[in-house]
Amino acid sequence: MTTYDLIMKKRRGGELSEDEIQWLIMSYVSGDVPDYQMSAFLMAVCFSSMTAKETAALTLAMMNSGDVYDLSEELGTCVDKHSTGGVGDKVTLIAAPICAACGVKVPKMSGKGLGHTGGTIDKLESIPGFRTALSHDEFIDIVNKAGFAVASQTGSLVPADKKIYDLRNATATVDCIPLISSSVMSKKLATGASCIVLDVKSGDGAFMKTDEDAESLSLSMISAARSLGRKCSAIITDMSKPLGRNVGNGLEVIEAAEALKGRCPADLYEICMAISAHMMSLAGAGTVDECRIKAEKAISSGDAFCAFEKMTELQGGNSHALTDYSLLGKAKNILEVRSPKSGYINRISCEKTGLIALSLGAGRKTKESSVDPTAGIIFERTVGDHVNKGAVLGTVMSSSVNDLSGIGEEFTKVFGFSEKAVPCRPSVIKEISG
Ligand code: URA
């Protein structure tokens, strides 16, 4: 077997065997296959795609390139979730405590976010004292006590993905369904949950710009998970506008805490209910409809909020900050931004919102940079609302940028206006049950 032959076979649209894929990945990780050959192979996959069997083999080979956990051995049935990423996505902070309150364990391992806003780890680390660098035993102990825990990923999880993802970023091969599917699922499967719910975002703020592509990606990931013996469902959700009202690490913790106390914007609520109902149902807690009722009760009884408080304390965080938000710290500089015109809001650009959040300090420009936990945006208006000229559209805040006037001007360009109201896209677009 030579790398040249495998590149040629894929370039001509052939199907690679499990052994061929396994050999290629192991040889790349060990350094025997150089970057230029792997780049050519990845580009061939972009043009010729992969069958479901090849995608599953690639997922398995990548998963086995590093540490593989079997959490179900230690925790029994447990469920994980993964989001393909979007602006204002704080669903994990709401869905995980809901599941925990309903007796379904959620062991969550996350990476640090690189991009417009931080990841789940960055959001939680805005709580004073909160630790995500947990030993394996500590992680398991907290899941057993609080029903869920969130730990930062270790360096030895799926090294093949780290190496291949860097190469994909440099060779315009990120945007390819079998490559995204194997990258996401190898990491999810390596962390060892027996059930996985995927939140696949669709819209101009997501990797998948159309609902059709989001469905293809969902089916590819579900098929890879099932072929490796895991239960998996996918929910396609809207990312044509930022999710909820708050964007930024500490601000998203506040929005999640408020949601768990029963005060949640409608778009965020619908997605959290769908995701948590599917997580519980996959774990055997009932039908999706029955689990949705349980999820609603977990919020109204306060049990889900209590689970969030308990997990926060066990991970060293000050749980009072989930009620007294001043303990999360306040941005030094705050600017209210007013509407330049009257009309109905017909669009809020995710991409522009993300870039503004990044320039305020809420995200990470490089892996080494740190995030400002107080930075971010609060939207006062959303798509479908009517505004008069001069009404407040939102607030931008930062502790690292002193003069916010330029960013405030940019923020007005995030919004599109029309004379007539436009219908809102549903927040839950499709549920693909496992
Ligand atoms: N997220 C991942 O982890 N991998 C991809 O390929 C795309 C998004």
Q: Which domains does the chain have, with CATH numbers?
A: 3-48 (1.20.970.10), 72-324 (3.40.1030.10), 329-418 (3.90.1170.30)
Radius of gyration for the chain, computed over Cα atoms and rounded to the nearest angstrom? 22
Pocket test for ligand 1, best of 174, 189, 221, 239 (most atoms within 8 A of CB): 174
Structure-token match 């609902």, residue found: 211
How many other C-beta atoms can be found within 10 angstroms of the C-beta atom of residue 351?
12
Distance 108 CA to ligand 1 centre (A): 17
Residues with a known catalytic role = 82, 161, 168, 183, 187
46's tokens: 């972009």
Q: Look at ligand 1, atom 5, and give the residue with the nearest C-alpha.
A: 180
Distance 180 CA to ligand 1 centre (A): 5
Q: What's the confidence (pLDDT) of residue 110?
A: 85
Region 270-282: what's the mean pLDDT? Answer: 98
Pocket of ligand 1 (CB under 6 A): 174, 179-180, 183-184
Q: What's the confidence (pLDDT) of residue 4?
A: 98
Range 165-172, long-range pairs (CB < 8 A, 24+ positions): 167/35, 167/38, 167/39, 167/42, 168/42, 170/39, 171/39, 171/42, 171/43
Region 294-300: what's the mean pLDDT? Answer: 98
Q: pLDDT, tens digit, for every residue of 171-204?
A: 999 989 999 999 999 999 998 888 999 999 999 8
- Minimum mean pLDDT range among 113-122, 254-263, 294-303, 343-352: 113-122
Q: Look at ligand 1, atom 2, and give the residue with the nearest C-alpha.
A: 184
259's tokens: 């949601």
Ligand 1: atom nearest CA of 168 is 6
Pocket test for ligand 1, best of 109, 176, 180 (most atoms within 8 A of CB): 180
Distance 161 CA to ligand 1 centre (A): 9
Q: pLDDT, tens digit, for every residue of 62-104?
A: 999 999 988 888 899 999 999 998 999 999 999 999 999 999 9
Angle at 329 between CA 323 and CA 335, to 5 degrees: 110
Nearest partner of 330 among 395, 393, 268, judged by Cα: 395
Cα-based torsion angle of the residue sequence 141, 146, 150, 154 in order, rounded to the nearest 10 degrees: 0
Q: Look at ligand 1, atom 6, and give the residue with the nearest C-alpha.
A: 180
Pocket test for ligand 1, best of 59, 166, 183 (most atoms within 8 A of CB): 183
Q: pLDDT, tens digit, for every residue of 391-429?
A: 999 999 999 999 999 999 999 999 999 999 988 899 999
DSSP E strand boundaries for 239-278: 246-247
Q: What's the confidence (pLDDT) of residue 113?
A: 63
How is the beta sheet containing 246-247 ordered, strand by strand?
A: 246-247, 376-379, 392-398, 333-338
Per the CB < 8 A criterion, the answer to whether 261 and 220 are in contact is no
Q: pLDDT, tens digit, for every residue of 39-60?
A: 999 999 999 999 999 999 999 9
Q: Whole-angstrom Cα distance, residue 63 to residue 159?
A: 9
Instruction: Tell me the percentage of the chain whose pLDDT exceeds 70.
Output: 99
Per the CB < 8 A criterion, the answer to whether 94 and 61 are in contact is no
Q: What's the confidence (pLDDT) of residue 154?
A: 72
Ligand 1: atom nearest CA of 183 is 4
Distance 46 CA to ligand 1 centre (A): 15
Cα-based torsion angle of the residue sequence 14, 20, 23, 25 in order, rounded to the nearest 10 degrees: 40
Distance 153 CA to ligand 1 centre (A): 15
DSSP H stretches of helix in 34-158: 35-48, 52-63, 71-75, 91-101, 120-124, 136-146
Distance 181 CA to ligand 1 centre (A): 7
The rounded Cα 87 to chain-centroid distance in angstroms is 9
Ligand 1: atom nearest CA of 179 is 6
Q: pLDDT, tens digit, for every residue of 249-275?
A: 999 999 999 999 999 999 999 999 999
Instruction: Tell me the percentage of the chain whose pLDDT exceeds 90.
Output: 88
Distances (CA, A) of 88 to 249, 268, 339, 381: 9, 9, 21, 15
Q: How many Cα neighbours within 13 Å face the side chain of 101?
A: 29
Ligand 1: atom nearest CA of 184 is 3
First to last CA, the chain: 37
Distance 83 CA to ligand 1 centre (A): 10
392's tokens: 């407040």
Per-residue DSSP letters for 286-330? S-HHHHHHHHHHHHHTSHHHHHHHHHHHHTT--GGGGT-GGGG--
Mean pLDDT rounded to a whole number for the chain: 95
User: Looking at this protein, which amino acid is placed at residue 20?
Assistant: E
Per the CB < 8 A criterion, the answer to whether 21 and 64 are in contact is no
201's tokens: 């975002």
240's tokens: 């044509």
Q: Whole-angstrom Cα distance, residue 230 to residue 59?
A: 13
Q: What's the confidence (pLDDT) of residue 111?
A: 72
Q: What's the confidence (pLDDT) of residue 155?
A: 65
Q: Whole-angstrom Cα distance, residue 163 to residue 155?
A: 12
Phi and psi at residue 203, in whole multiples of 5°? 140, 180
Q: Whole-angstrom Cα distance, residue 2 to residue 281?
A: 45
Phi and psi at residue 251, in whole multiples of 5°? -65, -35
Q: Look at ligand 1, atom 1, and give the residue with the nearest C-alpha.
A: 184
Distance 283 CA to ligand 1 centre (A): 25
Task: Provide the pLDDT confidence category of residue 115 given band limits of 50, 70 and 90.
Answer: low
Residue 415, SS3? strand
